[in-house]
Chain A
Amino acid sequence: MRASTNRGFTLVETLIALVLSSLVIILVSTTFLVQNQYQASQVIRAGVHDNARSATDLVVSELRSSMRDGVILAGNRTLTVRSPVALATVCGRSGFLGTVVDLHIDGGLAGIETGEIAGAALHDSSDGDWWYERVDWSFIDGGSVGSAARCANNGADTVDATAHFHAARRFFLVFDFTSTPDVGDLVMLFRETRFTIRPSDLDTSSLALFREPYGKPAVEFASGIDTTAHFQYRLGGTSYQDTVVTASVGAIDAVRIVLNARRRSESGTGQDVTFGWATNRHLRNAP
């Protein structure tokens, strides 16, 4: 028995063991490599999904705030929309002929990005429409001195909120001489953003979604967009169309963003990773 248990492996046994071991190693390593590739592709796929979702979310966040007549250009790959940076109410008037108006802005100017302001709009309380005019904030900024006190005289609750009151001026130059807003009127300070789908600056083989605030350069914030990406518009009813003539943009009541995302295969020989993503957004643009 001892002699039998202590004897070495025969050559045949060793060869068989080596072959079997090699097979097992090949099997394991192949499995590992395949799974590794699969995991990598899934990470890419998740990134593509995230890219498409975040891009549409950004567009939607501006679309859902836009008010009546907020859409001003509606093309297949271009969408220009106005949305409020802040809504304010007139709570006081001062200056010559009352041309300086005091505004209540929730959170005050500290809460908003004044550089994004593309203009001001007046609210028509009779029908809910807005009258938009482009103007730089610096042209109408009237400072904050005395605003809270003047608004308090008109019944505003300014306790712990004096920074929420600010003056604006020269509205009569922006709109017309008869349209300086009065106490209780609403004013919108709006941004004007153009969204464009065009060839990427970062990856020339794909498209990208650009956000271009009024008067500022466009910023590419979502690359890897497939060539099928586009905007569509609904003018009442149920069907969508790719473009809307300027005269009809006021009737747009919904926007669809078709933002298919694509990323090339890492190996160059594999299939591209794509993700078809579309989202619809109802607007308050139409009456």
Chain B
Amino acid sequence: MSSVDRDARIRGSDGGFVLALVVLMLFAISMAGGAGYLVVSAEKRMARFSTQGEEAMALARGGLHRFASEQLGVVVDSVVYAFGGGEARVSARRVAAVDAGTDMYFIRSEGIVVDPLVAGSPARRVVGAYAYHRKRPVPLHAAVVLNVEDFEVYSSTDVTGDDIGGSECPGGTAPSITGAIAREDVQASGSLGGSPPSELWPGGRAQFLSEIGLRWDVLSDPSFPVDFEDVPPDWSSLPSNSFPVLRVNGNLNATPPWSGRGVLIVTGQFDAVPPFIWSGIILAGWVDDRIMGAVDGMLVGGFSTNEPYDAVQTRGPIRYHSCNVSRANASLAYLELIENTLFELD
């Protein structure tokens, strides 16, 4: 055998043996990898499916709470919220009228998380809850309700709880309400009307908040959605029968451009300059000690813990207008989830 042939045989033998070892090792590695993948993928699939169920539940709950918190005025039938990992389909149905100012709704929310890589996708969870629809959230206590010690109607000024809406309102003239409410004293150099003309709430801010019953913390929260914020709307572009909700975050010295209708929420101090006139409801953190504008509806002030004035005097007319108040109240209607009723459907 030549040296060349011997070398060739040796190379051939070495090559074949190495190949066998490589095949063996590859086989062992692939088997181990396959077994590992089986376990890991099963675990991952279970964990992911379980996580998606939890996500779907969170979406359903989140959608339901968001829906309830966003309904201002008329309750919409259904809405779809798109979230990062999926969506929530929320629908509402009126199921009863509890009383003249309150309806009961059933809210259904379906959370859906889609992931085509997971068996059983999409994950769905459905929750339901009942809610009161407070159609007239501002109670009809008086034309002027102020959380101050003394309130005075200046000479030649008119404050009344007698309905001035009269024939303008579909239901005709409404029953009279109180003219003005303050903590310790209500005086009138001008005209003060209503049934009765005045009333005292000596219980201070606690009684004020209890009697009014509004969630001021919600209404004054900048994240709470309103129709217009911090700037007056272009009234000519709005339907004449619309009563929007406006909010001013801070103080407002209302001038004629602000004149309009609806609900005006002022989180700080409210003051007005003639010929400002508002048709509807004004809710204020507190009011200036001398109010100059006119209100055909209701003025409610004193929600804030800041009470800079002991006495407030009005030099502008504030007169109860039943249908302005009714329409403004309808714009402010909200949903209130009933405690301990949220449950899982399906």
- Interface residues of chain A, those whose CB is within 8 Å of chain B, are 1, 4-5, 20, 24, 27-28, 31-32, 35, 38-39, 42-43, 45-46, 49-50, 53, 57, 61, 64-65, 67-68, 83-84, 87, 89-92, 104, 106-107, 111, 123, 125, 128-130, 151, 154-157, 161, 183-184, 186, 284
Contact = CB atoms under 8 A, between A and B. Distances in A.
B22 interface: no
Nearest to A68: B340
B196 to A, nearest CB: 31
29 contacts: A4-B1, A4-B5, A5-B5, A24-B24, A31-B27, A31-B28, A35-B28, A35-B31, A35-B34, A39-B35, A49-B43, A53-B46, A57-B50, A61-B344, A87-B343, A89-B106, A90-B96, A91-B104, A111-B346, A128-B340, A154-B96, A154-B97, A155-B103, A156-B96, A156-B97, A183-B96, A184-B102, A186-B130, A284-B340
B340 A123 contact: yes
Interface in B41-99: 42-43, 46, 50, 93-99
A24 B338 contact: no
A98 B95 CA distance: 18
List the 4 shortest-distance A-B pairs measured between CB atoms, nearest first. Answer: A155-B97, A184-B98, A35-B31, A128-B340
Given A39-B35, A154-B96, A155-B96, A89 B344 contact: no
Name the prevailing secondary structure of the B interface residues: mixed
A62 to B, nearest CB: 9
A84 B343 contact: yes
Given A46-B38, A157-B93, A64 B344 contact: yes
Contacts of A104: 95-96, 106
Contacts of B343: 65, 67, 83-84, 87
B305 interface: no
B21 to A, nearest CB: 9
A154 B17 CA distance: 90
Contact of A130 (B43, B46, B104, B340): B340
A151 B103 CA distance: 12
Nearest to A66: B343
A213 to B, nearest CB: 17
A58 to B, nearest CB: 12
Interface string B234-254: 000000000000000000000
Nearest to B41: A46
B297 interface: no
Contacts of B341: 87, 123, 186
Interface in B287-344: 338-341, 343-344
Nearest to A30: B28
B128 interface: yes
Contacts of B2: 1
Contacts of B39: 42, 45-46
Contacts of B50: 53, 57
